[in-house]
Structure 1
């Protein structure tokens, strides 16, 4: 058959043409009613298949014009449309003289079957001389035509509006997703920066502590051996004080980079807070006043002093940012607090009992009520992308939980914020950590193999050991030290952790393969993966963190070689 397909969408024409040609039909195409009329004047067709809504002349008009033409009125005519909205559309189409009204999409088999039925029925009708010309007058036709066309156009407009709304929603969703992706990427970059800073801090700590070990150690030796103490004593003491401050600074760097294991012990919370505020004062603008009210004789608490520094730093810094560029006051208070049953009921993280409460308040902008419930969420922040990670308060919350304490917040927009931190109090009389004191007992000539790849520290270790009454043998190469150990007897081995050729752990394993009962002390400037517990599990008798003093080394040696004798600092084992 020769078929004329009429549709304003090229993809529809292509699909229909491919289908019909697959069944052996010849197919011509027109993009609207006017073009179809022109083609019917040039060719005779066995079937016309038309869409309804098209530019210039729609399908209804095309069907009416063809049915008025004596040459074309008997050509079978099928409407094939996707814009069906009402059964009256089909009735109107059939009343115009169309033979079938089909709604897209149809399965190919069903469509071909309908085409064959229409053509066969038309042949029979023509053979029977059936009248197929519509009988409506022009007025009725125009009324029905306008009604159907308006309905279809309205439906088309509604479809377009819905599609437009969906497109707008999709664009907005994409924009939101893009903004969220950018925000998360910024967060990830910031977290990666923090991770890189932490890694860098660990490397700096290791090397810097090795340098400090030499500075502090030789200053200590010089202080004890100088021939004219009156003229040199103060100089050496200043060197020791500066070295001690540098050592504390390294501890702070490691605490801030979150790479230091907790060293929980009884501490005077007030002293730790004062130390942190002293360091912070230099970083705050002169427009910010820090008012303190710290009670004396508060009970000790079980905590890590460097992490207390971190808590105070985070909260005071947040308070400063809340105040902004204007003048303001940050109030820091510390005192005893008794948690009763009623208070504990409203604060499930607390149990009835005695606490030390640390309160940090500001007179800044306050926190809106809708944000109060989220301030402890990781990465939640109201600051700009380069002004913070959103981790500060979540870290503080985590640290307080690890101390078996709690943190609460009270705030109102425009009235400032108060954060209360509750530390469980230890019984009065619990002792706080004290600085290393001179060991009561010295060595008695025990042979000690001292291994460190830093020549300065090897020299210093040898002098420390000699002064303490031991017989040291020093080496900077663990391979040479192992050869010495094979040929000589030693009562103890002290080894650095990070060395070329062998790590301290590998070196110790070689030692234990030769003499399993050898006691080994491990020293390090820094290790992210090793603490006292892990060192003990590996077989080491002690883990000693650089920089250590001669007294710290003496106490460690006494603990290892003479465990029955408790050196004064034994209460607080050395940690890394």
Structure 2
């Protein structure tokens, strides 16, 4: 056959037309051929490729049946090769006994070694596999796979000629010999690097999402609308305390945990979402298996089919328990602040009224000294007005607008000296025990207000233990409060405090009332038993002093109220009782009826007050002292008098006034004109501590409304002597 042309084969049935391929209807030609020394043979000519204007032929020679089988095998091989190339697969074949390896051209391409290269054997290929992946590949599978389990699929990294690693997917089968030893292995490989990198990015994204959900305390759920099949994410299961459940919880389980008041709201939200309406920030309360109450904010949205129907609901739930707690505290703080401002405003106006009533009563009292019946009635009216003044002080204390007379003091000494008074205040069937701590730090506080606070707490404890009585314990201790202990008190500052704990064994306070007890006029006592201002006053006093207050109570067991006051700096001296010394008070009383010792010149005092009645009463009291008065209704009028009169010795001014200029502003401008001018401020109300908010120095005298003649005389004498 070598050297012969195609037309010389056969018996003439192979024509030039067939050979040239001009007949487009035929794609194969089979002829018979009898060689000189052989049996008849069939020759199959089949055009394969059109190259340079001519066909390349596949020629099969043999018996007719074998030619047909060979043609079929070739066709199958061609189909297989086409399928492998289309799928990106490369073929390799390794004979373990002869250590012979076949690599298809595509295998060369995959490894980047070039098709003209001699190729690599099995052992060389194994060395190219990433060390961490070798146990997953053929070598490891042959060593460990049990007999009969010789077909496997795996993915691993292989190093190309460039030095970089690519991910490869391999499908291989092991052929064993009669003694079950690996004899041969045939496999396919394809490059899946892009898929694996995308999968790794997806896994990283999922890990990031999981960490984000855990940090944000966010879980999710899904619900198939038609089947009702639902699923909760692992994060959701953990949030509702069911991460360790034997059966993973679904949406109905979650719905059963929702508080009764929110179940209908959640069900309605699901129905609206099924209709295509997105649900945003739906807040619900959930009772966990542990009994804890948690709050969640839920978002639900539907996924529509091609037909436009909602097929699946997807929801997310974020735990907002801490946020809800902060919201409640913020609302409570706003409420207390609003009530405090209202209370302070009422107290301010009431103080002015009391100032007029008490001042005029005291002036009238001087006129009717000889009339015993009239004096008695006037004194009763003054006593009632003074009780009203105490009420306004409590209201101002709650609103943190009471002017405190702070000083360094020893709380132990103060409480011990109160023991007799406390014994009389509580009933005989109450056992009082005082436990002062050794080495107690000093505090800076108003001793009178602290005494009043401890007395009020003791009286509340007494009432809580009626009628059986019980034990009342007052103890002190040094405490350092860090941020973790002040989490519920945003305005408190970490540092050193002294703790005064008042504990009783009474009926306790119901949980729902704990947050209400500091509200003014709130009381659980009968209408005749209390005003509801005791704890409000204590709350305001402690807050204004830079401290905090905590209540611990159990119904049927008792209550502990803890006052925390900031640690002072100076050494504690022996505590002196509040108020002016007896000698000074006696001197003042004597001077009320003697105004002749002023060198023949009466001091001139300017009274600046925007309330006409208070202004007149204050002037009358001052004139009774033997002084001359000038009156102004606002700051500008008072400043004009200072500019006009150089003989004014003292300016008494209200702190808060209408007219565009308050007391401190007017006083500062007056001092700019007359640096030696003496000053005395009056205050019945101020937003916060008067001295702190109005920047008044401690050296400036301040008299609180409503004041008595004695109080005013005391302050006037001090101011003139300053």
TM-score bracket, normalised by the shorter chain, equals 0.5 to 0.7
Picking from 475, 484, 497, the partner of 2:632 is 475
> Aligned partners of 1:422 and 1:530: how far apart in 2?
19
> Aligned partners of 1:560 and 1:461: how far apart in 2?
15
Match of 1:558 in 2: 717
Match of 2:195 in 1: 105
Which moves more between the two structures, 206-215 or 430-439?
A: 430-439
Could you say what secondary structure the match of 1:516 adopts?
coil
Could you say what secondary structure the match of 2:82 adopts?
coil
* 1:441 CA displacement: 2.5
Number of residue pairs the alignment of both structures matches: 393
Match of 1:74 in 2: 82
Match of 2:238 in 1: 169
Which moves more between the two structures, 173-182 or 547-556?
A: 173-182
* 1:429 CA displacement: 9.2
Note closer, same or farther for the CA distance 1:261–1:431 as it changes in structure 2 (3 Å cut). Answer: closer
* 1:487 CA displacement: 2.6
**Residues 191-240 of structure 1 deviation map (CA, whole Å, 9 limit, x = unaligned):** 22223333333333322222211111111112221387333223221221
Q: Is the CA contact 1:255–1:307 (under 8 Å) kept in the aligned structure 2?
A: no
> Aligned partners of 1:184 and 1:426: how far apart in 2?
39
Pairs within 5 Å for 1:541-552: 541-552=700-711
**Does structure 1 residue 509 correspond to structure 2 residue 668?**
yes
Match of 1:38 in 2: none
Match of 1:439 in 2: 589
Picking from 643, 652, 664, the partner of 1:494 is 652
> Aligned partners of 1:183 and 1:422: how far apart in 2?
23
Match of 2:324 in 1: 182
**Residues 420-455 of structure 1 deviation map (CA, whole Å, 9 limit, x = unaligned):** 999999998954546966433354422211111111
Match of 1:89 in 2: 153
Match of 2:611 in 1: 454
Q: Is the CA contact 2:414–2:575 (under 8 Å) kept in the aligned structure 1?
A: no
Note closer, same or farther for the CA distance 1:554–1:229 as it changes in structure 2 (3 Å cut). Answer: same
Picking from 368, 374, 394, the partner of 1:252 is 394
Match of 1:144 in 2: none
> Aligned partners of 2:355 and 2:511: how far apart in 1?
43
> Aligned partners of 2:470 and 2:87: how far apart in 1?
84
> Aligned partners of 2:333 and 2:422: how far apart in 1?
25
Could you say what secondary structure the match of 1:89 adopts?
strand
Match of 1:125 in 2: none
Q: Is the CA contact 2:608–2:634 (under 8 Å) kept in the aligned structure 1?
A: yes
Note closer, same or farther for the CA distance 1:485–1:430 as it changes in structure 2 (3 Å cut). Answer: closer
> Aligned partners of 2:192 and 2:564: how far apart in 1?
77
* 1:410 CA displacement: 12
**Residues 517-566 of structure 1 deviation map (CA, whole Å, 9 limit, x = unaligned):** 11121111123455569989659742111111111111222223246xxx
Match of 2:347 in 1: 205
Match of 2:377 in 1: 235
Could you say what secondary structure the match of 2:706 adopts?
coil
Q: Which runs of 5+ in 2 are unaligned?
A: 1-74, 90-132, 138-151, 155-168, 174-185, 199-229, 242-293, 297-316, 435-442, 481-499, 520-534
Pairs within 5 Å for 1:285-324: 291=430, 293=432, 304-311=447-454, 313=456
> Aligned partners of 1:238 and 1:206: how far apart in 2?
23
Picking from 351, 357, 363, the partner of 1:221 is 363
Note closer, same or farther for the CA distance 1:527–1:426 as it changes in structure 2 (3 Å cut). Answer: same
> Aligned partners of 1:363 and 1:187: how far apart in 2?
27
Could you say what secondary structure the match of 2:589 adopts?
coil
* 1:183 CA displacement: 1.7
Which structure is higher in RCO with an 8 Å CA cutoff and minimum separation 6? Answer: 1
Scaled by the length of structure 1, the TM-score of the pair is 0.53
The CA RMSD measured in Å over matched residues stands at: 5.7
Scaled by the length of structure 2, the TM-score of the pair is 0.43
> Aligned partners of 1:388 and 1:429: how far apart in 2?
31
Which is richer in strand? 2
Could you say what secondary structure the match of 1:441 adopts?
helix
Could you say what secondary structure the match of 1:250 adopts?
helix
Q: Is the CA contact 1:522–1:540 (under 8 Å) kept in the aligned structure 2?
A: no
> Aligned partners of 1:429 and 1:100: how far apart in 2?
93
Note closer, same or farther for the CA distance 1:228–1:263 as it changes in structure 2 (3 Å cut). Answer: same
Q: Is the CA contact 2:239–2:319 (under 8 Å) kept in the aligned structure 1?
A: no
Q: Which runs of 5+ in 1 are unaligned?
A: 1-66, 109-160, 282-287, 296-300, 350-356, 367-380, 564-576
Q: Which has the larger radius of gyration?
A: 2
